[in-house]
Every structure is written in structure tokens, then in C-alpha cells.
Structure 1
Amino acid sequence: MNIEDGELLKRVIWIVLDSVGMGEMPDSAAYGDKGVNTIAHVYKHNNGLQLPNLTQLGLGNIEGMEALEKCESPIGTYARLAELSRGKDTTTGHWEMIGIHTEVPFPTYPNGFPKEIMDAFEERIGTKTLGNCTASGTAILDDLGEEHMKTGYPIVYTSADSVFQIAAHEEIIPLERLYEMCEIARELLKGEHEVSRVIARPFVGQPGAFTRTPNRHDYAVMPPKENLLVYAKEKGLDVIGVGKISDIFAGEGITYATHTKSNEDGIKKTIELIKQPNHGLIFTNLVDFDMKWGHRNDPVSYGKGLEEFDSYLPQIIEAMNEDDLLIITADHGCDPTTPGTDHTREYVPLIAYSKMFNGAIDLGTRKSFADIGQTICEIFDLPALKIGESFYKQMTK
């Protein structure tokens, strides 16, 4: 394909494999992440992975990629992306992709939230709370779920991320009330305590057998308006969020959103959307890698999840039009083989594929996740972002 031919891309299908990092960055040690490598360690823990379609697209050819085999004639464009922003969380990574540079990291609370915050929150909701600690989302239910059911007090907890999470049994605190509590927390957490997300974490079941439901809802900080999604929406393009995309951006710049129950559900919904006559951006987040396997130190299931995604790639590509572009990347790492359960500061892979392009383009190591957003801005003739460098012309050689 040559740009001179007048052929233009009409749509971008952008899939974020949440937490699928590919090795430590030069500053990873400062984040406590020396030696991390999500893909390589998952590969080694599983004694290999069957990823024939990702391999054909060039995943193993990316600079610095360990363990995975290279393809002699990859059909995709591929690169390794560094994170320019300060942080290693979902919001920071996704925001950078669309052109927002986070220079001051969002606050975290390894020892729980300060007394003034909790006192104000309890006063506003009219009840005491349980927890106020750093915990795994499943372990906290084992620890406090039964007491929550007896007292009716919501469970407040955080993680290594910048989050204020409220867990409640759907039969004890109805969803509408839980969401109201989250809105109150979002109003209170301003200034120095402006966490990136307040998250409703509803669950069901009985002691010893609690399970979280798909009715999670995120209340994110509103992103600055100078970003790819807003520019695309203002131009009249479709900006379709699949999974937690709309929540991450507080709905800003999104024209249609659909939530998902699992990676497989997200993949299938993405395929159905590809088959529809939309024009613009289909933006999907597949969260199970992070939420179900990375944070829970489960490299075996993580590997199976990668293989499951790979198995759907032929269907994704078959559904694509000639003038579609597929982008596959990640927002941070979450190495499930590390002692902790935190995200890990890592490079992330980038794969780009279109039936219009020849492929086998090695873009090396890029300086920012925003290179994706800047490229999409060039594709759709949108205003340039403040950070990032487009790889559109390199990709179309």
C-alpha cells in the first residue's frame, strides 16, 4: 500500500491486553520491579505457549522480547513501547495512549486512607465501614465478607493502584446504594487525595464461597479534553468502548460503550462490532489478564488466557475490512510470578496489522505509549497530540 494511491484507513480496532508487559524498563527498579517480565515469565512457567497467530503477526520479533520464537516473515508491524508517564497503573497507561502525560503519579495508600477521609466518608454515607486497608479483592471478602453481612457496613480497601474500592454484598447493600456511596467517595477525593478511580465491587454468595459479580463500576478522574478520543468524537467518528474503556475515561470522548463479563465476552463483542458498519475507533480492554490472573499470581491461567486470545485472532482478522487497522498492545505489566500482587513497570508490546499493508516492519523501541494515539490522529486527520510520534508513514511503506 502507498499513501499516494489515495487509499485511506477507515477504522481502527484497538485491543489492550491489560497488563501483558514484556520486560523491565530502565527505571523499573525505582518502582520495586527489577527483573520483571510478564510474557517471558508466563511462557517459562508454562513450559511454552502456543501462540501461532501472535507469532505470525510479529510478537516474537519485537526488540527485547524473550522466550517467544521469531517469525521469518511476520505479517504485522511491531514495536516495544516505553511508558513516558510516572506510574504503572491502568489509568496512567491508557491516558498516555491517547496523548495525556501523567507527570505526577496518582496517590496511593499502602497503609489505608487517612482518618480525615474516612471520617468524612462515613459521615456522608451515614454508617461505619470495614477494612480501610490494602488487600486483594478476593482475600478481603474471605476476611470481612461475613462481618459485612452481619453489620451491613461496606468494605473499603485499596491496592497498590490509586484506587478507593467499596465492596458490598448485593443482598445487603443494593447496587443503587453502592453506586451512590461511590459517587460520594468520588466527590470527597479531591486535591492531594484525588485517586485515579473509585470502584464499586459488588459480590454475592455465602461465607467461604463469595464471588464478585459483573456489576463492577468505575468512577474515574475526568481526563483533560485535549486527547485523541475527544478529537475523534468531535470530528463525528464512532468511538466505541468495549470492556472498562468507558470507565477508565469517565465516558469522555466515548460515543457508545458496552461492558463485558470476561475476556472471551470482550473478544466476541469486538468481533460483532467489527462486522457492523461503524467508522472510527473500536477500543477494547481485556481485563482478565490483570484482574483474574496477574494480581492473583496465577501464571498458568494467564498463559491459557494468552492462548485463548491467540485462538480468536483468525476470526478477528477475517471480520476486518480491507481498510481496517488492528492494533494490539498493553497498558502496563502485572508479572504473576513476582512475590507481590502489584502491577509491574514494564515495556509493552505493539502489533499493528492491516490487509492493506505488507507487514514485516520493525519499529524498534518507541519512547511513549502515545505513539499509538498520535498515529491514529494522523490516520483520521485529527489535531496532533502533545506527546508521541506517529509511525503511520513507517507502517505504510
Structure 2
Amino acid sequence: MKKIIVLVLDGFGIGAMDDVSVVRPQDIGSNTALHILKETHVHLPNLEKLGLINAMGTTTGSMKPSDTANFGSSKLAHYGGDTFFGHQEIMGTKPKKPFKMPFNEVIDIVEMNLKNKGYPTKRITKDNVSLLSIYDEVYIGDNLETDLGQVYNVTTSFDYVNFQDVKKIARIVRDSVEVARVIVFGGANVTKEDLVNAIETKNETYIGVNAPKSKVYIQKYEVEHLGYGVDHTTQIQTILYDQKLSKTAFVGKVADICANENGDSYSIVPTGEVLTKTIELIRNDKHGFICSNVQETDLAGHSENTQLYASKLLVVDEYIPQIINLLDENDVLIIMADHGNDPTVGHSKHTRENVPLLVYKKGIQGINIGNRDTLADVGATVADFFGIKKVNFGTSFLGKLLSN
């Protein structure tokens, strides 16, 4: 079976986008890859051979451009720099601009829609702001761990409510609001007291359950992300199955954030395990499209730790030959990112950066696929590769790759 593998190095940007001075001035000067290479002097021979320096457009240290690489770069079409929306974009979704607002501004409409569906709600107020509770078992409010006002959480304990039932509540919330994400999650061995005691406020404007404090992450944690304007039925993984009965495999964080009803998803965090699973899936030859996300690079960026980031890149670099050795002339490997996360820029959040596109296909060398306008060009290329209906957004670069 011919296959295409997309390996996403989460948060591995190659330079701030041109619009950051207007939309994200805190990201001016960011360049995740360049600053890690400069600060740590790490050498990544396999990423070098695949064209990392070519894509960056800047030589640094011992790493040089490659004459044999197929490479390019991509802008972000989604707003900001976000793992969830970055991956939806990769799958072929045209991002819609979400609104930013505290949960208190939409609590009335959410409460009305929940009551209309038969859910009895009550308000819990603290510091003059309120969230919603259903039976003291499900809590709906602001996400306090990400950019405030962009995400709402639906938090529960599976000791009282099963995941399928709480997802029904979350979909009502999703249909009621226009923020970027509604995240529904829970864990086991979490009491009602654990949930209520974890309610916190920020800036007297935002209120929610502090997820780590609530203990939901500790046992049997499950999560689903519901994005604004995201229809997975128009994404490549769904179209590929509908038209070719070809299954998709998601490995790593992508398994948590992209729907894959007809495929197989593996939620894994350690980098070595993500890549080992990817190799196993290539060998098993049951999936036409494999997308794997290396999350630990992004976590190192959030920690503002260049040495930790470099160590994760070294793990990736060591596994690349094992992946390439399993591919034949029919297969394609794309290594890319979803946004930046520069540990040196002065804050611990994602950075809005261009990302690399490093493409390997046996027998094809020296092709520059250019600076793409959207990550969705990858999803469009996957569709083109399999000869199926194109996704709604994005332009394939397969023809350019095969032009020689």
C-alpha cells in the first residue's frame, strides 16, 4: 500500500510571520529553530539533509543547506499560533476567526440552550463572576490554563457521568458560542468536592475549574476538543476513507484534537514512543495516511528551555533514518510544524511563525516547493497523492514535487 506520512514537530517555527507586528507584537523577532540551533549548538544531520537550513534560509553553526533536499515553508492561515487549529488546517479546514470573550458574557445563552435540552443548571458565583454546574457533576466555564477568553472547559468526573453523555453537553455549549475551542474532559476517582474546590477566578473576569487542581488528569483522563467552524467530514482523513476506504492513523497529540472516526488514533506523549509507534504503523501497512505529532518539542518551548528542546529534536533526528528506510518509491514523508514556540522570545506562549516543509520521496531531489500560504496545502497534497476529491481549502504541491 502506498502511503504518506506527515510528522509534525509541534512548535518548531522558522521565523515570525510578516503580520506579527500588527496581530501579535509579542512575537516580533521569534525564530524557534534558529535560536535553538544558535544557543545549543545542536547538530541535526538528518534534518539538515532533508533541508531544514534550506527552509530556514539562514545558515548557523555547523549546519548547512542541502543540495539534495526537497523543501519549502508555510504560513499559518489560522489566527494566532495554535496546535488545535494548526492541525485542523493541516487536515484541510479553512480557519474561521473566533471571538474572544469571558464565559460570563455568554452564560445566558449557554444556560438557556442547556435548559431547552432538559439539563438543569445552576450558577456558582465567585468574585462577582459565574460559571454553570449541572447536578454538581459537570462544570462549564473559562479555561484558565490557556489564553484567557479563547477556550471554555466542560469538566466532569467519570465517577458520576460517562464521557459520551458529557460530550452531548459540550456540543450544546459548542453550538452556543463562537470562541476558538470548547474542551470537554474528565477523569476517574474525582469527587464533587474536588471539582468545586478547584473553582478559581482570574482578573475578576474569568471563572473556571482549575484542571490540574481538580485531579481529573490523574486517572483515566479522556478529552475531546471541539473547534469553532471545524467540520471533520470535509477533512482529508474522512474523505480518504469515504472515497477509498483507506484508513488514517493519528499518533500523539493529533489523536486528541482531530476526529478520526474510521481510523485509528493513539494518544502518546514521549517522543521516542510516538516515533516507535509511527514506525510500527508503517511496517503494518494498514494505513494510507499517517500523521504523528511530536508534542515534547512544544512542551519544551513552553518551559522556555532551549536545551530540553534540542534534546527532543535529537531524538527525532535519530529516528528519521529508520522511517526513511521503510519507505519505497511510492511513499512520501513530510516533516513540518504547526506554529512556533520560541523559548528565547520572552514569554512562554506559542509564537506566530512560518513553519518548515521538508519532503522526502525516493528518487526525487532538489525541489523547492516555495513558501505556501496555508498548512492546508499539506491536506490538499495528501488528497492529490491518493487521487481523491480535494479538500475544501489548500493547494497541492505534489505536481511541483514531481516536476522533474
State if a TM-score over 0.5 links the two structures: yes
Deviation of the 1:348 alpha carbon: 0.5
Deviation of the 1:380 alpha carbon: 0.7
The residue aligned with 2:5 is: 13
Provide the TM-score with structure 1 as the length reference: 0.77
Aligned to 1:88, what secondary structure does the other structure show? Answer: coil
The residue aligned with 2:88 is: 95
The residue aligned with 1:392 is: 398
Listed as ranges, the gaps of 5+ residues in structure 2 are: 128-135, 195-211
Q: Is residue 2:247 matched to residue 1:238?
A: yes
The residue aligned with 1:58 is: 51
Deviations 1:60-92 (A, max 9, x none): 111534636554544431111112333321232
Counterparts of 1:77 and 1:175, CA distance in 2 = 53
The residue aligned with 2:201 is: none
The residue aligned with 2:266 is: 258
| Within-5 A mapping of 1:10-89 | 10-32=2-24, 33-45=27-39, 47-65=40-58, 67=60, 71=64, 73-89=66-82
Aligned residue identity for 2:323? I
Total equivalences in the alignment: 362
Aligned to 2:43, what secondary structure does the other structure show? Answer: coil
Deviation of the 1:265 alpha carbon: 1.6
Counterparts of 1:176 and 1:230, CA distance in 2 = 29
Aligned residue identity for 1:43? L
The CA RMSD measured in Å over matched residues stands at: 3.6
Aligned to 1:190, what secondary structure does the other structure show? Answer: helix
Q: Is residue 2:152 matched to residue 1:164?
A: yes
Change (3 A) 1:55 1:197: farther
Q: Which moved more, 1:112-121 or 1:224-233?
A: 112-121
The residue aligned with 1:105 is: 97
Q: Is the 8 A contact 1:165 1:201 kept in 2?
A: no
Q: Is the 8 A contact 2:249 2:289 kept in 1?
A: yes
Identity of paired residues, percent?
Answer: 27
Q: Is residue 2:293 matched to residue 1:305?
A: no
Deviations 1:338-380 (A, max 9, x none): 333322111000111122x232222232222122122222111
Aligned residue identity for 1:312? Y
Listed as ranges, the gaps of 5+ residues in structure 1 are: 1-8, 133-150
Change (3 A) 1:195 1:203: farther
Counterparts of 1:395 and 1:186, CA distance in 2 = 41
Q: Is the 8 A contact 2:182 2:226 kept in 1?
A: yes
Counterparts of 2:277 and 2:223, CA distance in 1 = 19
The residue aligned with 2:198 is: none
Deviations 1:283-315 (A, max 9, x none): 11222222x222232222112111111111122
Deviations 1:174-210 (A, max 9, x none): 49557755653442233443542404365999999x8
Q: Is residue 2:183 matched to residue 1:198?
A: yes
Aligned to 2:233, what secondary structure does the other structure show? Answer: coil
Provide the TM-score with structure 2 as the length reference: 0.76
Counterparts of 2:270 and 2:108, CA distance in 1 = 33
Aligned to 1:267, what secondary structure does the other structure show? Answer: helix
Aligned residue identity for 1:157? N
Q: Is residue 2:179 matched to residue 1:187?
A: no
Change (3 A) 1:383 1:182: closer
Change (3 A) 1:224 1:65: farther
Q: Is residue 2:280 matched to residue 1:286?
A: no
Aligned residue identity for 1:236? L
Aligned to 1:241, what secondary structure does the other structure show? Answer: strand
